[in-house]
Structure 1
Amino acid sequence: MTTRPRIDDHQRRTRLAVRQLLAPAHRAATPEQVADAVVALHATDPATVFLSTAARLGPAQGPGRTAPDPVPPLERALYEDGTLVRMHGMRHTLFVVPAALAPVVQASTTSKVAERERRGFTAFAAEGGFDQDWLTDVEHEALAALDRAGEATGAQLGSLVPRMREEIAVAVGKPYQAVQTIGTRMLRVLGMEGSIIRRRPVGSWTSGQHRWATHRPYPQQPAAAAQRDLTARWLAAYGPATAEDLRWWTGWGLREVRTALTGCGAVPVDLSDGEGFALPDDLEPVPDPEPWVALLPALDPAPMGTRYRHWFLPDEHRAELFDRSGNIGPTVWWNGRIVGGWAQRADGEIAWQLLGPVDRAARDALEAEAERLRGWIGDTRVTPRFRTPLERRLSA
């Protein structure tokens, strides 16, 4: 009987440090390199994209030195060069991904969700008395108006196409009854289908109100091939990991996960939590990086890349670092383990708290990293969209 390769938790943490560009010697020079390394940057909270990138850019710098400012190059990549794209992807979540990967994400994941959104939108409109012909006509008018305008917010587009402001009541008779406009639902569907794309926000880089622009739909490809390719990318960044980790990260069904793992040639390996999978050329040990620290934002890809986190996050810390929906808040890392959390206070100070013991060298490095983070954030104030118990206490 052939013995399966075993990859221990230490090696998993080593791979995380190197491949997630968290160890100083492995940091990136550009936002595009960051996005490529982590596959997808969480974008539900706009600030996460910038904070996650800043943590991975440039060489380590000493106390009093500022981190590289990710805002100008990230905005250029997103809104001028088009090398990065903001789109709905895995688990219906908003991500920033490399433009070359966007068609893979669309085919593997987003298109199926978009079909459901389209059916729901059609049913929603029908409840308001609007049939498919009416909807199609409004969509064509909206796309033509947006094309002429170049870019527009939802409100601006509603002014150009008044029928988008038609309102329909939802959840009638229930405590959470509300009114939604045709335009709100329409823009979401068109965005998920790839007909429009989010552009520069209204306000600063922390703003979630984006302008829209028309977009050429992504080229079609078979879903199974796209799922295979995305799985290979994910394993290269987050592996080795379990099938359940992949199922959770993507939102796919178990059959899709198994087919994708087989399709990309993934090799079964033994992990501390059971059977995992790695790429066939990723079975040899990876050398340890130098000691490293990181202050990662809420929803950073490193802790959000797998469902099971015991190998870098002690269970006793979860209640402090997650909200009730399972969203992780800002975290403090030392050599591949989460050892605490951080927050920005009203005066701009970066406050952090340890949840376990670390040595003096770690504390000194964390002080320097907190100063480095504060240096580039400057006067901007960042409050996570999903507040966690420790972040709330520290920010106060």
Structure 2
Amino acid sequence: MKITDAQRRARLVGRQFADVSKPEDVVKSVLALHATDPATVYLSVLARARSLTVEDVRAAMYDRRSLVRLMAMRRTLFVLAHDDVPVVHAAASLGVAKTMRARLKKQVSTLPTEPEVKNVDTWLAEVESSTEERLRTVGTATGAELSAAVPLLKTAILPTTDKAYDVKRYVTSEVLVMMAAEGKMVRVEPRGAWTSRRHAWAPIEQWWPGGIPVVDEAESRRELVRRWLEAFGPATFDDVQWWTGWNKTQTRGALSGLDTVDVELEAGDGVMLTGTSFGDDAAGVMLLPALDPTPMGWKQRDWYLGDYKAPLFDTFGNIGPTIWVDGRIVGGWAVTPAGEVATELFEDIGSHASEVAAEAGRITDLLDGAAIVPTFPTPLEKKLRGKK
């Protein structure tokens, strides 16, 4: 069966760009929101649920707790539906945590530290137990507050060369992120504005009284790929492997347990779930933020990106804010220091230009003066923001 790029774009619009009424519906449509930049979560929702406000998104994450921030695929932060966390935790987070634990132990046991660590296993067990005990006592705390109360979190790895990048660094962040990936704690509302990266931490029991439910890893991998294909299929094998961050054997194993059909894509051999449907019309205008899950959903992007990679991506493969028309990228945008959305189109899009302007104005109003600076600025984003 042959699937054209036009069919893929039509399905993308129908599946991921539909105007919905709740933040939870947005997350369901794309499976997981990228959350490296806190603002991305909000802007990804507000782009697709046009009746909502910043406060509506905040309430879903921190009042209803129906959305959860989790380190998962490709060691990337995502926001997921609460009910999907057990599957993603087993399929992706625990593997990330295992790698992080091995790396931390190797560093502490082979590099000079301050204070000196004589037994890494004993040291790490004490760091974790003290951190968990402190969190249960205070309820929530930032990394800085935890390190002030748990001195072992301020264990430093010392430089061994005179290189500029080889500096003294504390293990605080590595330990806390590892513990969260293992399901011992969870990121909660940040201190300060909704754009803040200073998230606090809370004991996992505040969100799951008995801890994150334990589910089978192999079954979880299959379910994660099934859910991904619902949102992003049809796709190539490389797309699936890239998005999950798994090796080829793990990816093949997950796909082999699903009811799929092989398809021919313009990008090469692909796969989709049996029964996948395609719409007839790919109409619609959307302004998506940096690292939005749609442009970051596939490894092979020509069918919606075209020749516009250079101005929109940084050198590490991170995408900036994008303008979409009919399921493909036609421009980019940025938030100026004054809190206004500035846009640039790469081509003539006819009457859709007025819709882009209207969307830019709507997002500007929602921001209410907030300045948004992506963690990974891209050439066009910097240009529109007035930065060299």
* TM-score above 0.5, yes or no: yes
Instruction: Give the structure 2 partner of residue 93 of structure 1.
Output: 76
- 1:10 maps to 6
Select which of 323, 328, 331 maps to 2:314: 323
Equivalent position of 2:377 in the other structure: 387
1:247-326 aligned within 5 A: 247-282=241-276, 284-288=277-281, 291-315=283-307, 317-326=308-317
Match of 1:366 in 2: 356
1:334 maps to which of 325, 350, 356: 325
Could you tell me which residue of structure 1 aligns to residue 176 of structure 2? 187
State which drifts further: 166-175 or 182-191: 166-175
- Counterpart check, 1:103 vs 2:86: yes
Q: How many residues align?
A: 375
CA distance in 2, matches of 1:183, 1:239: 39
- RMSD between aligned alpha carbons? 1.4
Aligned to 1:125, what secondary structure does the other structure show? helix
Which residue of the partner structure matches residue 52 of structure 2? 68
Secondary structure of the residue that 2:61 maps to in structure 1?
helix
Cα distance between partner residues in 1 of 2:278 and 2:365: 36
**2:21/2:52 contact within 8 Å kept:** no
Q: TM-score, normalised by structure 1?
A: 0.91
Shift of 1:170: 4.6
> What letter corresponds to residue 68 of structure 1 in structure 2?
L
- For 2:248 and 2:316, the matched residues in 1 are separated by 22
Structure 2 partner of 1:49 = 41
Match of 1:40 in 2: 32
Cα 1:171/1:233, change in 2 over 3 Å = farther
Rate the CA distance shift 1:280–1:178 in 2: closer, same or farther, 3 A.
Answer: same
| Distance in 2 between residues matched to 1:222 and 1:173, nearest whole Å | 47
The answer to whether the Cα contact below 8 Å between 1:68 and 1:376 also exists between their aligned partners in 2 is no
Counterpart of 1:82 in structure 2 is 65
TM-score (norm 2): 0.93
**Aligned to 2:59, what secondary structure does the other structure show?**
helix
- The answer on 1:122 being equivalent to 2:113 is no
Task: Give CA deviations for 1:290-324 in whole Å, capped at 9, x if unaligned.
Answer: x3111110111111110111111112x11011011
Structure 2: which 5+ residue stretches go unaligned? 206-210
Any unmatched runs of 5+ in structure 1? 59-66
Larger displacement relative to structure 2 (229-238 or 167-176): 167-176
- Describe the superposition over 1:84-140 as per-residue Cα deviations: whole angstroms up to 9, x where unpaired: 110111110000011111111111111112111111222233243322113212221
